[in-house]
Amino acid sequence: MIDVRDLIRYCDDLLEAARFADYAPNGLQVEGERPIQRLVSGVTASAALIEAAIAEQADAILVHHGWFWKSENPCLTGIKGRRARTLLRAGASLIAYHLPLDAHPELGNNATLGRRLDFIDMEPTALANGLVWVGCLAQPMTPEDFAAHVSQRLARPAQRVGRENGVIERVAWCTGGGQGYLEQAAGLGVDAFLSGELSEQTTHQARELDLCYLAAGHHATERYGIQALGEHLADRFGLWHRFVEIDNPA
């Protein structure tokens, strides 16, 4: 069992949260009523995840996508109000780490996704405060085979645009909504760039850069970091932990 404030201090240091100018607050977003013994993790603090955490009698919910985004109305009304009332009635805390979790060299989304996809020689780049990573495939693949490999490993069909021929050896990636880094990633001398989403302009950029681009799902590419962080905290502090997968095809 650990006090929530002590857990937040540990996570802030571990993830170097102060290093990031983020789109939402990192750390403790809603303070619960009790110390933490039971921890549920998930990608997004949705109503379904909150209900699942309550069913597990969780003292805290740990997520990558929390609440209070800068682009949103801050008022707790409608969907947000219903989520907040459910959480507060349960007395559980809500803890969220966004960009700091993307970037962590061991537990982060980029690091864990790279391992999931069997990339080798992985390392963060200087782009976007370390959010864009590079690595190599264990064996060269055609663009079609690379897309099939990613789809199989993530259990979700990846969308492929851009380069149709040749081989893929060196890859850059940024989990989630990182498609905006495509042109910068091309400057790294890679054959492919992978992220979660496909914007309208992404197709044209990939074609004009002669780069293979894969959109493998925002949710699908960001499932593994929060699991790794939850497991790490459970091991470090003797907590009960469970990751809850709330299916999301986006």
Q: How far is C-alpha 115 from the geometric centre of its chain's CA atoms? A: 14
Q: State how far the Cα of 175 lies from the Cα of 223, in Å rounded to an integer.
A: 10
Q: Is 149 annotated as a binding residue?
A: no
Q: What is the 3-state secondary structure (H, E, C) of 89-151?
A: HHCCEEEECCHHHHHCCCCCHHHHHHHHCCCEEEEECCHHHHCCEEEEEEEEECHHHHHHHHH
The answer on whether 169 is annotated among ligand-binding residues is no
Neighbours of 101 (CB within 10 A): 28
Does the annotation place 222 within a ligand binding site? yes
| Residue 65 counted as an annotated binding residue | yes
Is 102 marked within a binding site?
Answer: yes
Q: What is the DSSP string of 186-210?
A: HTTT-SEEEES---HHHHHHHHHHT
Residue ranges for the known binding site for a divalent metal cation are 64-65, 102, 218, 222
What residues form the annotated binding site?
Answer: 64-65, 102, 218, 222
